[in-house]
Amino acid sequence: MTDFLSALASFFSYPFVQKALLVGSLISLSAALLGTTLVLKRYSMIGDGLSHVGFGALAIATSFHIADVAVGFALPVVVIAAFFLLRLSENSKIHGDAAIALISTTSLAIGYMVMHKNGTNVDVGNYMFGNVFTITDSDAVFSVVLAIAVMLLFLLFYHKIFSVTFDESFSKAIGVSPALYNGMIAVLTAVVVVLGMRMMGTLLISALIIFPSLTSMRFCKSFFSVVTVSAGISLLAFLLGILLAHFLDFPAGSTIVVINALFYLAGMIFSKIRSRL
């Protein structure tokens, strides 16, 4: 037991671990806050599509040796893609989900093509699955600032975001513009996706956004409780995930997703049992 505690203490004393904990916690929290709205608006696929666009953008940035500013390059690209995907999914004349699938697979294909052509030293696995322990200092600062900005904006406009999520026509009638707040959600999601990509990877980031909300929706009845509980779940899953990953030598991103999946399962069983009582 003392062995374990001292191992834990030494784990937390590494600067790279502290950095990972800080960045990861903030990203997990901001992802979970946005998740509720995205799930309720049926926008979950947008998060997934954006992560693929992000992969393409990161791959291109790295291949052209602008890796230092890769995130700075990917961010505007993904924000623009977010607006585009939002328009597609709002326009009922096009099959929004099919269009998102087209855009995300195309970005993935272009990204991999560019990577393949420009040398073999780029680690594709790192982009696909991320690594929270190898975040650079400048990326860490960037991530902390943006994640805090995302959370602040969300809290500041919390009720308006709720209103627009619940009932767009009423909101528009009283002057709370759905276009504005949907756009804001799309931009914030784009930011979280880009930040989360370094940590979770392209393939796993959307799990970080939607899992905690889906779990808390199984047993919370108010919007406020869903948002706060999912933030808590997300943080807990991140901390547990990173510890397990370290001590059992699992990849961190995948471990976090698996723990989120287990939480979801537990939530499902809990709500089933409660409804029987």
Partner 1 sequence: MALITCEALSLGYEGGTVVSDLSFTVEKGDYLCIIGENGSGKSTLIRALLGLKEVSRGKIRYGDGFSRQGIGYLPQQTLVQRDFPATVTEIVCTGFLNRKRFSFFYSEKEKKEAADIMDKLSVSSYKEKSYKALSGGQQQRVLLARALCAAKDLLLLDEPTVGLDPLMSATLYRVIQQLNREGLTIIMVTHDMEAALRYASHILHLHKDTSFFGTKEEYDHCQVCAQFLDEGETPHD
| Residue 175 CB, nearest approach to partner 1 (Å) | 3
Provide the Cα torsion 227, 232, 235, 241; round to 10°. Answer: -120
Which C-beta is closer to partner 1: that of 159 or that of 274? 159
Identify which of residues 142 and 223 has a Cβ nearer to partner 1 in the complex: 223
CB of 129 within 8 A of CB of 201?
yes
For residue 169, the minimal CB distance to partner 1 (Å) is 6
- Neighbouring C-beta atoms of residue 57, cutoff 10 Å: 24
How far apart CA 182 and CA 188 sit, in angstroms, is: 10
Cβ pair 169, 53 in contact under 8 A: no
Token couple for 178:
């759905």
Q: Minimum distance between the CB of residue 39 and partner 1, rounded to whole angstroms?
A: 10
Taking the least distance from each CB to partner 1, the nearer of 93 and 117 is 93
Helix axes 178-200, 205-217, angle to 10 degrees: 120
Nearest approach, Cβ of 224 to partner 1 (angstroms)? 7
List residues binding partner 1 (CB under 8 A): 40, 155-160, 162-163, 166-167, 169-176, 217, 220-226
- Least distance (Å) between residue 250 CB and partner 1: 33
CA distances from 137 to 8, 20, 82, 193 (A): 23, 10, 27, 19
Kindly tell me which of 41 and 87 has the beta carbon lying closer to partner 1: 41
19 or 218: CB nearest partner 1: 218
Compute the least distance from the CB of residue 225 to partner 1, in Å.
Answer: 8
CB of 127 or CB of 211, closer to partner 1:
211
Q: Return the structure tokens found at 121.
A: 């030293």
Q: CA 4, CA 17: separation in Å to the nearest integer?
A: 17
CB of 187 to partner 1, least distance (A): 18
- The residue behind tokens 């393409």 is 56
Enter the tokens of residue 134.
């190898």
Indicate the residue among 122 and 160 with the shorter CB distance to partner 1: 160
Q: What is the DSSP string of 120-169?
A: S-S-HHHHHH--GGG--HHHHHHHHHHHHHHHHHHHHTHHHHHHHHH-HH
